[in-house]
Amino acid sequence: MEDALRKAGFSGVETVAGVIYARTDPTLPEFTATPAGQGWQLALAWPLRATEAQIAAWTALHPDAPMDIHQGETRITVQVPPTPLSRWAELVQDMVAHCTDWRRSTRQRDEGM
């Protein structure tokens, strides 16, 4: 999986205690790849607790990458295969955009970053 991630253009690929850490883009958060059955589970967590409605809306739009709350953070997961790595990169960008918008919508008008 490490080689596949590097060949697909992911950055910061490294393995620690059997878990692969990587980024779809150097400016985006790190995700994990862990062995799962005949493939790998990719997971990205964001430090935000999405609402049940937000989770349901995301999962309806992205049934291949269900969203949940894991260890207090919003998370998406996919199974590789069948999900191609190019699709994972798209999902990561979409999740980051959604979570950023959700966080901004909870701020008061005069609240800083």
* pLDDT band of 103, cuts 50, 70, 90: confident
Statement: residue 29 has pLDDT above 70: yes
- Stated pTM of the model: 0.89
Statement: residue 11 has pLDDT above 70: yes
Per-residue confidence (pLDDT) for residue 65, from 0 to 100: 96
Q: Which fold has domain 2-106?
A: Yope Regulator; Chain: A, (3.30.1460)
Statement: residue 113 has pLDDT above 70: no
pLDDT digits (tens, 9 = 90+) for 61-99: 999 999 999 999 999 999 999 999 999 999 999 999 999
Amino acid present at 79: Q
Tell me which residue of 39, 38, 5 sits closest to 21, measured CA to CA.
5
Bridge partners, 35 (sequence order): 40
Strands 67-70 and 19-23: unpaired
Per-residue confidence (pLDDT) for residue 104, from 0 to 100: 81
Per-residue confidence (pLDDT) for residue 109, from 0 to 100: 60
3-state SS, one letter per residue, for the chain: CHHHHHHCCCEEEEEECCEEEEECCCCCCCEEEEEECCEEEEEEEECCCCCHHHHHHHHHHCCCCCEEEECCEEEEEEEECCCCHHHHHHHHHHHHHHHHHHHHHHCCCCCCC
Least confident of 11-25, 69-83, 95-109: 95-109
